């Protein structure tokens, strides 16, 4: 079964991109990384997504996350379509601030489980779905999201998730539903109360529950 699971090492693939040939781990260096695929160039939803990603490039940079996109079209198509993307982002003439991988043979798409059997091009070949992979500085997969071609992603949510991943990689906390940076976080269940009070100088508050179990522990980071 092709694909990659959370915690697995992300493949150190080689690929042609709009910035030349890359070896993925060298491209990442010591940074976090985000690889997001789209079904095809010159398609409407993809154009809106990549324009939004381009607009948010500084936000990804601030978080130390290197961006790279992928689809099954050629480097030349990617380069030409990028001009449309930047025009849609109201930045006509500026370069797309991240490379796009050209996976014309679909080898990488198969390896990473990105093909959507329900979406096909005119030749009947499957297109890539809207995958998001976030890779940590240890080159391991920290998050994967998979959307069908017909649903565009929410890049604000992707940034929010990265904020959570980066916070929870450092501290023994988890982020609750709809959490946003600056809001209270939850102490991970595996941490005993005695250690939690020592670890979180802002204090730990516990919400009373009908069960009497004290598992909802909040702190402010
Ligand atoms: C799009 O990007 O608009 C799209 C691509 C493939 C199927 C459906 C929509």
* pLDDT-derived band at 2, boundaries 50, 70, 90: confident
Residue 63 lies in a domain: yes
Does one domain contain both 132 and 31? yes
Calculate mean pLDDT across residues 204-216.
97
Query: Does residue 46 carry a catalytic annotation?
Result: yes
Does one domain contain both 94 and 201? no
Q: How many structural domains does the chain have? A: 2
- CATH number of the domain that 121 lies in? 3.40.30.10
What tens digit of pLDDT does each residue of 157-198 get? 999 999 999 999 999 999 999 999 999 999 999 999 999 999
Does one domain contain both 54 and 132? yes
Does one domain contain both 181 and 149? no
Distance 45 CA to ligand 1 centre (A): 6
Does one domain contain both 148 and 76? yes
pLDDT at 1 over 80: no
- CATH number of the domain that 189 lies in? 3.30.1020.10
| Nearest CA residue ID for atom 9, ligand 1 | 150
Calculate mean pLDDT across residues 134-163.
97
- Do 10 and 141 form a contact (C-beta atoms < 8 A)? yes
Whether residue 119 has its Cβ less than 6 Å from ligand 1? yes
What tens digit of pLDDT does each residue of 6-51 get? 999 999 999 999 999 999 999 999 999 999 999 999 999 999 999 9
- How much of the chain exceeds pLDDT 90, in percent? 97
Query: Residues 6 or more apart from 192 whose CB is under 8 A from it?
Result: none
Whether residue 111 has its Cβ less than 6 Å from ligand 1? no
Residue 85: domain span: 8-153
Strands (E), the chain: 14-17, 20-23, 32-37, 65-71, 100-102, 115-120, 126-128, 130-135, 141-147, 173-174, 185-187, 204-206, 217-219
Residue 14 lies in a domain: yes
CA nearest to 39, candidates 31, 27, 47: 47
Query: Cα–Cα distance between 68 and 142 in angstroms, integer?
Result: 16
């Amino acid at each position: 079964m092709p694909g990659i699971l959370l915690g697995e090492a992300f493949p150190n693939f080689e690929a042609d991109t709009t910035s030349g040939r890359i070896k993925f781990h060298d491209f990442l260096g010591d940074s976090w990384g985000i690889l997001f695929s789209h079904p095809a160039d010159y398609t409407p939803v993809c154009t809106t997504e990549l324009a939004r990603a381009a607009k948010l490039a500084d936000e990804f940079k601030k978080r130390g996350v290197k961006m790279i996109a992928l689809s099954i079209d050629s480097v030349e198509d990617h380069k030409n379509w990028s001009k449309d993307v930047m025009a849609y982002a109201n930045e006509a003439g500026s370069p797309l601030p991240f490379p796009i991988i050209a996976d014309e043979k679909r080898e990488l798409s198969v390896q990473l489980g990105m093909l959507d059997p329900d979406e096909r091009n005119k030749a009947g070949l499957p297109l890539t779905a809207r995958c998001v992979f976030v890779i940590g500085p240890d080159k391991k997969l920290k998050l994967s999201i998979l959307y069908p071609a017909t649903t565009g992603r929410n890049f604000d949510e992707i940034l929010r998730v990265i904020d959570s991943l980066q916070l929870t990689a450092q501290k023994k906390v988890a982020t609750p539903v709809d959490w946003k940076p600056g809001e209270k976080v939850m102490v991970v269940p595996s941490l005993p109360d005695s250690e939690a009070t020592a670890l979180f100088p802002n204090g730990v508050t516990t919400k009373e529950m009908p069960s009497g179990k004290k598992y909802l522990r909040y702190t402010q980071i």
